[in-house]
Each structure stands twice: as C-alpha cells, then as structure tokens.
C-alpha cells in the first residue's frame, strides 16, 4: 500500500534558525516526491519535487529537500526560517506508474519572531 | 507554474439542494483532475480521480451518486454535491495534472457550508 507519513503535527522554530519538516514514504517502485504549502483557506502551492537525479532538490522560497532512498525519507529544509514561512506543509508521493497522489497528514509550521 | 482556477471560492446552500463546483486549468490541458476534501486541521482526503472523457474513479467510501464528477474537456472538471446535508460542509479542493508534468497544480479551494 502507498502511504506518506509526516510524524510531526506541529513544528515551531525561531526566525532565522534552520527548519526541518519530516516526511517518510512507502510506495512500490520508484516514487515521485513532492512538497506543497497551504496558507489558510487556500489551495496548495507547489514547492518542489524529486523525480530522479540529484538527491538534493531546490525549490521555491529558498526551500530544499533531500531524497534518501535507504531511509525512504524526503525531509523539507530551509537554512533560515522567516515568519512568513508559517503555514501548513504537505508531503506527497506519486508512484512513477499510475495517476494517484497520496498526501501526508500535514505539518503546521510556526516561525516565532 | 500552471494555473488552476476553482469557482466558487465560497458557497452557502440549503440542505437538500445541489451545488456545483468548477475546476479549470487555465494554461494547460489537464488530462487528469483530482478532487479532495479537507476537514479543519486535517490532511486532504482524495475523493476521486478523473481522466478527460472517461468516468471518474472514486476512492473507497466516497458515494459516487452523491458526489458527481464530470471531466468533459481537457480544461474543465466539475464536482456536484447532490442533495447536500450539513455533514457535507467542508473545504473542497481540485487539482490538475497534464501528461507532461509530474506535479499537480491546485485550485484555490471551495468552502461549502450547508445550512
């Protein structure tokens, strides 16, 4: 069965500090991995994706994520958090074959001024 | 990135009536569209996946006769909530994907309130 886990419901970090939002996955075959961000009462905005190639993926707004096949993880990172980064973050996985998108439960990030 | 427009953004309807939500891909052809439901502070629950010109594939537990999905063209999909009840009140989000892109692009969401 395909699944995505975001073990932390809430992450708090001080402004200027590095942030990490965790994601692990279980999918058959080679996965496509994604991060999306959601602001209140809005749809999801695409941040970045891993398809193949370099394990470190850079995306929008200074975010990056590292694909770790052995640990089946795809953690989202940013070197220096901004207050405006406070939002709900979703990890998603899509099998390389097939149309489905599976989302994690979301992690609420709060950046404290 | 590609733009997906969802309309309306907010709707209030009376119990027993039907509501239609539109999802349009503005600058690409959406071969696949997804409909999600999101409860407060919860993740997105995939309701159904539709490919242009064919019947939608519903996830287990989603009533296809209640949530009618039509994907008649490469730029438009609609979700109709039939005979709405207060428990159908939720945030509904569509997303779309074209054959060339691996990521999906999301609409702004529709807040449905059934009174």
* Nearest CA among B49, B92, B100 for reference residue B71: B49
Whether residues B32 and A99 touch (CB distance < 8 A) is answered with yes
For A26-84, give the DSSP string.
E-SSSEEEEEEEE-TTS-EEEEEEE-SS-SEEE-GGG-EEEEETTTTEEEEEESS--GG
Task: State the pLDDT confidence band at B34, using cuts at 50, 70 and 90.
Answer: very high
Average pLDDT, chain A: 91
pLDDT at residue A48, rounded to an integer: 94
Task: State the pLDDT confidence band at A1, using cuts at 50, 70 and 90.
Answer: low
Most confident of the following: A52-56, A81-85, A102-106: A81-85
Angle, CA of A85, A88 and A90, to the nearest 5°: 115
Over residues B47-97, the pLDDT tens digits come to 999 888 888 999 999 999 999 999 888 899 999 999 999 999 999 999 998
Distance from CA of B109 to the nearest CA of A (A): 5
Task: Report the residue count for chain A.
Answer: 113
Residue to test with chain B: of A27, A44, A50, A104, most B Cβ within 10 A: A44
Task: State the pLDDT confidence band at A22, using cuts at 50, 70 and 90.
Answer: very high
Higher pLDDT, A22 or A99: A22
Whether the per-residue pLDDT at A101 is higher than 70: the answer is yes
Residues of chain B in Cβ contact (below 8 Å) with chain A: 1, 4, 6, 32, 34, 41-44, 46, 49, 51, 91, 93, 95, 97, 102-109, 111
């Amino acid at each position: 069965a395909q699944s995505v886990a975001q073990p932390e419901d809430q992450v708090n970090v001080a402004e200027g500090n590095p942030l990490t939002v965790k994601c692990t996955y279980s999918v058959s075959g080679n996965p496509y991995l994604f991060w999306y961000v959601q602001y209140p009462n809005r749809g999801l905005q695409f941040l970045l994706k891993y398809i193949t190639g370099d394990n470190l993926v850079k995306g929008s707004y200074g975010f990056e994520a590292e694909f770790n096949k052995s640990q089946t993880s795809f953690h989202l990172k940013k070197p220096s958090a901004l207050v405006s980064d406070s939002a709900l973050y979703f990890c998603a996985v899509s099998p390389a074959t097939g149309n489905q998108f599976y989302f994690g439960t979301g992690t609420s990030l709060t950046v404290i001024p | 990135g590609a733009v997906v427009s969802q309309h309306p953004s907010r709707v209030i309807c009376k119990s027993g009536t039907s509501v239609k939500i539109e999802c349009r891909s503005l600058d690409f052809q959406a071969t696949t569209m997804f409909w999600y439901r999101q409860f407060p502070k919860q993740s997105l629950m995939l309701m159904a996946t539709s490919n242009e010109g064919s019947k939608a594939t519903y996830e287990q537990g989603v009533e296809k006769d209640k949530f009618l999905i039509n994907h008649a063209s490469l730029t438009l999909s609609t979700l109709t909530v039939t005979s709405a009840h207060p428990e159908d009140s939720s945030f509904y989000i569509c997303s779309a994907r074209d054959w060339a892109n691996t990521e999906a692009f999301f609409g702004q969401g529709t807040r449905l309130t059934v009174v």
